Every structure is written in C-alpha cells, then in structure tokens.
Structure 1
Amino acid sequence: MYQKYKLSNGVRVVLEKISHVRSVSIGFWVKTGSIDENVENNGITHFIEHMLFKGTKNRTAKDIAKAIDDIGGQLNAFTSKECTCYYAKVLDTHMDIAIDVLTDMLFYSLFDPEEIKKEQSVVLEEINMYEDSPEDDVHDLLSKAVFQGHSLGFPVLGTQKTVNSFHRNMLIKYMKEHYTPENIVISIVGNFKEEEILYLLEEKCKDFKNTFPSSGIIEPAKFIKNKFIKHKDIEQVHICMGVEGVPINSKDHYPLLLVNTVFGGSMSSRLFQNIREDKGLAYSVYSYLSSYKDIGLFTIYSGVSPSQFDEVLRLIQEEGNNMRKIGLTEEELQKSKEQLKGNYILGLESTSSRMLSIGKSELFLNKIYSPKEIMQKIDKVSIQDIKRVIDKVFSFDEVAVSMIGNMNKNENLKNLRC
C-alpha cells in the first residue's frame, strides 16, 4: 500500500511499507537531467551528481563513504536525460543514518574548487571510457542524430570542452535553479515506522526552501530522420536504427512494450532467433524503447562484422516489414503478456527496485500505479491496440541511423531508406 505526503516545504514523499523485510531503500529524485542543459553547460547535471559525494559542511568525501560502509549499506546515484536520483539501501535500524547522509549531500555540499578540479579529471576519464566502448557510444550517437539541435540529444556526461569549463559558481547556480522543492520526490520502501520517517524528513529538509526560478521553458523535442556515422578502426560495425516511439504517459506505452518483447526485446524474439540463433550472423541484436515526457524512441541495435553487415541490415528490415504485414498472433500476444508481467513482478522483489519504480512514477506521472494496476494495464492490451501501435511505429520510411566502425558509408547503407 502506497502513501503520499507533502513536507511543509513542498517536497513530495511516497512511502511503501513492507513489514516482512529488514531493509529500507531511500531515493531522493530530482527532476533535472541533460534535457535541462545547453551547449555551454552540457554535462553539468551529471557533474553535480559526482560533486555531491565530494564533501559537505559536516563530512569529507571519505566520511560520506564510511558512514554507509560502516553499517553495511549501499550508497549511489545516477543521472539520466530527465532526472537524477541519489539513493541508499540500509538495514531498517540504520534508516536515520541514510537519511542524514543523503540530506547532508543534497543541501550542504561544499563544491570545493580543488575537488572540482579533481572530479573534472575523473569525469573526463569516464567520457574517454565511454567513447572507447562503441557498443555504448552508438546509442548516444543515435540520440544526437534523432534529436539534433535539442537538449534531449545531448550526452549525459557532457563533452571534454564543457566539463573543463565548470566552476563553483556555475554549479551552485544550476543547483539553485533546478534543485527546488517542487522538483524533488523522496521515495522510501521497506520496514519503517511512518511517523518516525516523516518526522526525520521534516527535520532534515526544513531549511531547504530553494525558490530560485528555473530559467526558460523547454520546447518538446521532435524526431528527425537523420544519419550520423563515426569511422573507427575496430573489428565490428555497430549500428542503431531508430524510429519515433511513444511518450512515457502514452496509452500506447504498454502495447509497444508487448510488441518489443516479440520483435527484439528477449532471447525468444524474432530478431534474436532469426539473426543470431538460426543464421549465426551476430552475437548481439536487440530492440528497446526509450520513453520520455514528450516523445519516445524505438531503437534496434546490432554489432556485426563488416562482411555480415548488409545481410543483417536486410534481415532487420525484413523483420520490421513482417511485423507490419503480419503483426502478432493471439498466441504471441498472450505469451508476451505473461513474459512482461513476469519480468515486472520479479523486478519488484527487492526494496530498491520498488523504490526506483514508485519514485520515478511519482516524479513523471504524479501518480503511482500498484502492481495489480500495472498487470491490468498489460492484460487489457488487445490485438487492435497492437495493430495500431505497429502501424504507428514500424515505419522504416522514417528511420534515423547511427553507426560506428570501419565501413564504407555509401555501400553499407545503400539498401537503407534514410
């Protein structure tokens, strides 16, 4: 059972009590990501995430790490295109320590200039590591192609140039603009006393009353039929093909998830069985959807040797065309429903995964759906819904492409309409 509250300063709190566990997972969600950046400060959201671990008025970076390590807990964070999350998982007896550390990081970080210099080097290495991994880099390249000119296409890590430009005043200004009470959701799942946890949060958050207005309104991104190629002397060619998907709150979200399960989202999918299992042409081939607030992206990825590239490309398009012509059978629809429901329920077996689920839902949808409601949404998807989504999404006449590898761009893309 979920409970929703609002602290006196406006921060939203969502709670799910599970009495039979001994852990508590706590997440502080901030509705800001690389979509809120510009060409001058790209990567600043991710950099701030790093800096919040580098020392506060009350703790050094080592003290922050030790505070959680000493009680056998976990402390981490991540930044995405539309949000940032700082989270901890601890024994229920140490809930107060986790909340104290997280609020200390969020509200009292120092942003010491010397630590900023050190962390710039760390993030630059992170960028280098990412660029050395073409199977990861090609997905960022697709976002850049599809959303060219819009901040949704910016890399979350930023660039060498922007990261080197960050300074203390710049970071503090961005935090004041985006780390505001209305932009924050605290999600907590596990074994706790509700009154105790709300009292703790009120006490720790009472001085957080940031009302500095965020600058500007972000116009929704538009899908661009585009092609980006990065030549690199490596053994494989990595390719992503993208078509416009659906936003996170769309009625077509669950139908598309089911279509993806059959098309390329699992080991039993058409893409995987045809290209890898039956023909042995690629080690990695799959599809997935990315759903944002105002738009979505449906992506097909494969990493293949240059000699197999044309055949794999032909087979991907063939499977896409078959999906439009044949769609899903009733049997495939039922199997994909069971698969999706199973994956969803198994993914909620831990307090941390449930904390992530309810926090993100409240942050973006202002609503939390129970597992029963999610299962009902999946079960209600009809063959007509599936057909509508396939007709809407599976159009290879409007496809964006990103590629990384040692290839002849004219020959390898001659059969792709882009």
Structure 2
Amino acid sequence: MYNKITLDNGLRIVTEYIPYVKSVSIGIWVEAGSRKENKQNNGVSHFIEHMLFKGTKNRSAKEIAESIDNIGGQINAFTSKECTCYYAKVLDNHIDIAIDVLSDMLFNSLFDSEEIIKEKSVIYEEIKMYEDSPEDLVHDLLSQTIFNENSLSFPILGSKESLENITREELISYFESFYIPSNTVISIAGNFDFNSTIEMIKRYFAEWKPKRSLIEKYDKPIIYHNISKKKKDIEQLHFCIGTEGIPQGQDDLYALLILNNIFGGSMSSRLFQDIREDKGLVYSIYSYPSSYKDTGIFTIYAALNPDYFVEVIDIIMENINIIKKDYLSEEEIYKSKEQLKGNYILGLESTSSRMTSIGKSELLLGKVISSQEIASKIDKVELKDITRVVNRIFDSSKYNIAYVGKFDNEEEIDIKLKRLLFK
C-alpha cells in the first residue's frame, strides 16, 4: 500500500508498507545531480554526497558508519545525472536510528576544510579508476558526443580541473540552493508503523525552512550527430552507438523497453545471438534506454577486437534495418512483455529496490507509479506502438558513436563509420 504526505515546508514523503518482511529501507532523494551544474563546478553534486559522510556536529565519519554497522544495517549514497540519494537499510525495529543518522548528515554536516582537501584526493583517485575502465569511459564519451555543451554531457564525477576550483564556500552555496524541502523526497519501504514513522519524520524535518530553488527548469538538450574517440593502450576496443530515446513519463517508454529486450537487452536478444553467439565477434554486446526529464537516449555497447570494429557496426545496422523493414512478430512481443514483467517484479523483491522505485518516481515524475500500473502499461503495448518507436529511435539523422581503444587509421575508420551510420 502506497501513501504520500507533503509537509507544510514542501517536503514529500512517500511510503510502501510491506508487512511480510523484517527490514525497512529509507532514502532521502534530492533533485541535484550533474545536470544542475556548470563547467566550473562540475562534480559538485557528487562531492557533496561524499562530504555528508565526513562528519557532523554530533558524529565523526567513523561514528556515522558505526551507527548503522552496529545494528547490522547498510548506509550509502549515489549521485546521478538528475538526483542524489542517501539511503539506509535496517531491521524494522531500528528505523529510528536510520532516520536520526540520515537527518544528522543532512542538517549537521560540517564541510570541514581539512576533510574537503582529503576528499578531493579521494575523488581524484575515483576519477583515475574510472579512466582505467574503458567501458565506463566510453559511456561518458557518448554523453559528451550526443549532448555536446548541455549539462547532460557533464561527467558525474567532474574532472580534476573542475574539482580543483571548488571551494568550501561553493560547496555550501550549492548545498543551500538545492538541498531544500521542495526539492527533496523521503521514501520508505518495508515493515514499519505508518503513524509513528511519520511523526518521527516530522520531528526531524518539519522545521526545515523552505527556500526557492535556483534552477526551476532544465535547458532541453539538442541531440547531436557526431563521432568521438579516445586512444587508450588496451587490447579491446569499446564503442557506444547512441541515438535519441524516450523521456521519463511517456507511455512510449514501455514500447521501447519491449523493443530493447528483443533487439539487444538480454542474452536471447537478436544482437547477442547474432554477433556474440553465432558469429563470435564480441565478448560483450548489449543495448539499453536511458530516460531523463525531457529527453532520453538509446545506447548500443560492445567490446571487441579492434579488427572487427567496422564489421560489427555493419551487422548492427543490418539488424536495425531488418527491424525497420519487417518490424516484430506478435510472438516476439508477447515473450518480451513476459520477460520484462518478470524481470521488473523480481527486481522489486527487496525493500531497497522498492524504496528506490517510489522515491525516484516521486522526485522526477511527481507521482508514484505502482507495479500493477507498470505491468498494465506493458500489457497494453501493441505492435503499432512499437512500430512508432522503431521509426523514432532508429533515425539515421541522430546516430552518434563514441569509441575508446588502440586504433590506427582513424580517418579511414571514421569515413567507414559515417558511411554506415550517417546515411
């Protein structure tokens, strides 16, 4: 059962009661991610995520960790393009401790100058680790290729150059601008008493003073049509093809998910079976959609021997052209729907995933979409809906490609890529 309450200060609380479990997960969701940044402060959202674990007026960094470790719970956070989430999962009888610790981090973090210096070094190492992962690197390069100067192109971690410019004052200014009640959702899923939990949240959060956010709307990005590459002395070549996808909240997203399952989203998909299993040309290949508030992208990724690069692109385009010509069979669509519903329901087996589902949905869409409603939307997708999405997604005027690896004759490669992708 879902419930939603909005406090007088604008803070939204969404809950799902699950009586048959012994855990509860709590998330504080803030609409502050790399998309709200600029070139100068890129990485500040992720930096703040780190700093909230570095000590408060009441707890040291070690005590924050111990408060949850000592009761057998988990506490963590993540930053994405459009939001940051701080979350804890504990046994249901320790919900008070989780709320106390999370609220302490939110309201009493010190942003200590010495800790800021140390944490910059930590994030520099995180960036280096990311640079050493070509799969991660090529996805970031694709974002830069597709979105160009729009803030959606910025890496979540920022860069060494942008982080060097971020001062304590800038961290606090950004924090005070976006960490406000109207920009925040608390989501709770698991076994808890609704009335007493809401009263507890009110005690901690009701006095949080409302304030107007600096940025009300995002600049809608233009989808570009480019090639980007980065040389790296590695054995495999990694590439991403990206094109325009579907924004959050649109029903066509369900048609895209069904299409993706069939095309490249699973081990039984056409791309995997054709290029990996039948031809043995890649180790890894998959596709997936990413959705944002006002746009989306559809990505095809593969890692392979550089000698097979252009050949595999050609085969991918052949598969796309087959789908555009013959579309999909009713049997394929039915199987994909069942697979999609099964994966979704299995993914909601934990209180953490349920907390994430309702929190993110409320923060970015302004409503909670139930699992029953999602299953119903999947079932309602028809062939004509998928046909419309096929023609929308596989638009040769919007293809982009990014690749990372060891390669020679890049001008010759780019000519061949343009011939295949930019018709």
Establish whether residue 43 from structure 1 lines up as the match of residue 33 from structure 2. Answer: no
Decide which moves more: 146-155 or 402-411.
402-411
Counterpart for residue 93 of structure 2:
93
Decide which moves more: 398-407 or 211-220.
211-220
1:333-372 maps to which residues of 2 (within 5 A)? 333-372=333-372
Decide which moves more: 202-211 or 373-382.
202-211
Counterpart for residue 112 of structure 1:
112
Per-residue CA deviations over 1:82-125 (Å, capped at 9, x if unaligned) read: 00000000001100000000010011100000000000000000
Counterpart for residue 59 of structure 2:
59
Counterpart-to-counterpart distance in 2, 1:31 and 1:102: 17
Decide which moves more: 269-278 or 389-398.
389-398
Change (3 A) 1:403 1:389: same
Cα displacement (A) at 1:8: 3.0
Kindly indicate whether the alpha-carbon contact (under 8 Å) linking 1:176 and 1:212 is maintained by their aligned counterparts in 2.
Answer: no
Q: Which amino acid aligns with 1:267?
A: M
Counterpart for residue 241 of structure 2:
241
SS at structure 1 position matched to 2:416: coil
Q: Which amino acid aligns with 2:319?
A: E
Counterpart for residue 227 of structure 1:
227
SS at structure 1 position matched to 2:38: coil
Q: Could you state the TM-score of these two structures normalised by the residue count of structure 1?
A: 0.98
Counterpart-to-counterpart distance in 1, 2:154 and 2:114: 27
Cα displacement (A) at 1:72: 0.3
Q: Mind listing any 5+ residue stretches in structure 2 that lack a counterpart? A: none
Counterpart-to-counterpart distance in 2, 1:175 and 1:206: 19
Q: Which amino acid aligns with 1:133?
A: S
Establish whether residue 131 from structure 1 lines up as the match of residue 148 from structure 2. Answer: no
Counterpart for residue 251 of structure 1:
251
Cα displacement (A) at 1:29: 0.3
1:6-405 maps to which residues of 2 (within 5 A)? 6-211=6-211, 213-215=213-215, 217-405=217-405
Cα displacement (A) at 1:206: 2.7
Counterpart-to-counterpart distance in 2, 1:88 and 1:274: 42
Counterpart-to-counterpart distance in 1, 2:84 and 2:25: 16
Q: Which amino acid aligns with 1:386?
A: I
Cα displacement (A) at 1:167: 1.7
Q: Could you state the TM-score of these two structures normalised by the residue count of structure 2?
A: 0.97
Q: Mind listing any 5+ residue stretches in structure 1 that lack a counterpart? A: none
SS at structure 2 position matched to 1:9: coil
Q: Which amino acid aligns with 1:271?
A: L
Counterpart for residue 414 of structure 1:
415
Counterpart-to-counterpart distance in 2, 1:48 and 1:227: 33
Q: Which amino acid aligns with 1:255?
A: A
Kindly indicate whether the alpha-carbon contact (under 8 Å) linking 2:225 and 2:397 is maintained by their aligned counterparts in 1.
Answer: no
Counterpart-to-counterpart distance in 2, 1:142 and 1:256: 20
SS at structure 1 position matched to 2:66: helix
Cα displacement (A) at 1:52: 0.2
SS at structure 2 position matched to 1:368: coil
Counterpart-to-counterpart distance in 2, 1:37 and 1:116: 19
Runs of 4+ deviating beyond 3 Å: none
Count of residue pairs the alignment pairs up: 418
Q: Which amino acid aligns with 2:284?
A: S
Identity %: 57
Q: Which amino acid aligns with 2:98?
A: A
Decide which moves more: 164-173 or 296-305.
164-173
Per-residue CA deviations over 1:46-79 (Å, capped at 9, x if unaligned) read: 0000000000011000000000000000000000
Kindly indicate whether the alpha-carbon contact (under 8 Å) linking 1:25 and 1:88 is maintained by their aligned counterparts in 2.
Answer: yes
Counterpart-to-counterpart distance in 1, 2:290 and 2:215: 26
Q: Which amino acid aligns with 2:20?
A: H
Counterpart-to-counterpart distance in 2, 1:84 and 1:140: 18
Root-mean-square deviation (CA), in Å? 1.1
Counterpart-to-counterpart distance in 1, 2:405 and 2:41: 29
Kindly indicate whether the alpha-carbon contact (under 8 Å) linking 1:314 and 1:415 is maintained by their aligned counterparts in 2.
Answer: no
Counterpart-to-counterpart distance in 1, 2:25 and 2:251: 30
Cα displacement (A) at 1:268: 0.3
Per-residue CA deviations over 1:221-263 (Å, capped at 9, x if unaligned) read: 1111111111112111111111101101122100000000000
Kindly indicate whether the alpha-carbon contact (under 8 Å) linking 1:18 and 1:189 is maintained by their aligned counterparts in 2.
Answer: yes
Per-residue CA deviations over 1:306-337 (Å, capped at 9, x if unaligned) read: 11112111111111111111111000000000
Decide which moves more: 141-150 or 301-310.
301-310
SS at structure 1 position matched to 2:189: strand
Change (3 A) 1:215 1:377: closer
Cα displacement (A) at 1:285: 0.6
Kindly indicate whether the alpha-carbon contact (under 8 Å) linking 2:255 and 2:385 is maintained by their aligned counterparts in 1.
Answer: yes
